[in-house]
Amino acid sequence: MVSGPFHVRRVYDPVGPDDGCRVLVDRLWPRGVSKERAAVDEWLKGIAPSTELRHWYHEDRSRYDEFARRYTGELADSAHAPAVDRMLDLSATQAVTVLTSVKDIENSHVPVLLAHLARRSEP
């Protein structure tokens, strides 16, 4: 999956030849994956949804729209700012592959994150 300057892969997928900098955007390290196999260049835990928000959403996956709204708010706060800025800095100079362990990427934090990054990088 490609979204703007970012590629998206599951951390369980093999490394691709065009991955560039591989950035894990999950708060928790993926189960069953060694650091060597994951080939993660950076782990930006601080860009992931808060633990509270993640737990709230996992209780009822039908709340995606509200999850996306709340996570967008988190991405705009000062706690997430360093990680968001780091991701934008990385993407300004190289290809970046966003890595996640979630199975259903389209209904996860990843599309919300990519939309936020796209808005932040607009002139």
pTM of the model: 0.92
Report the C-alpha dihedral over residues 111, 74, 15, 90, rounded to 10 degrees: 110
In this prediction, residue 123 carries a pLDDT of 67
In this prediction, residue 106 carries a pLDDT of 95
Cα separation, 33 vs 38, whole angstroms: 6
In this prediction, residue 2 carries a pLDDT of 40
pLDDT tens-digit profile, the chain (123 residues):
544 579 999 999 999 999 999 999 999 999 999 999 999 999 999 999 999 999 999 999 999 999 999 999 999 999 999 999 999 999 988 999 999 999 999 999 999 999 999 998 876
CA distances, 44 to each of 87, 90, 108 (Å): 8, 12, 16
Among the listed residues 66, 47, 46, the one whose alpha carbon sits nearest the alpha carbon of residue 56: 66
Beta partners for residue 9, in sequence order: 99
The strands making up 96-100's β-sheet, listed across from edge to edge, are 2-3, 6-10, 96-100, 21-24, 42-43
Here the tokens at position 25 are 């955007």
In this prediction, residue 4 carries a pLDDT of 56
CA count, 13 A, side-chain hemisphere, 100: 22
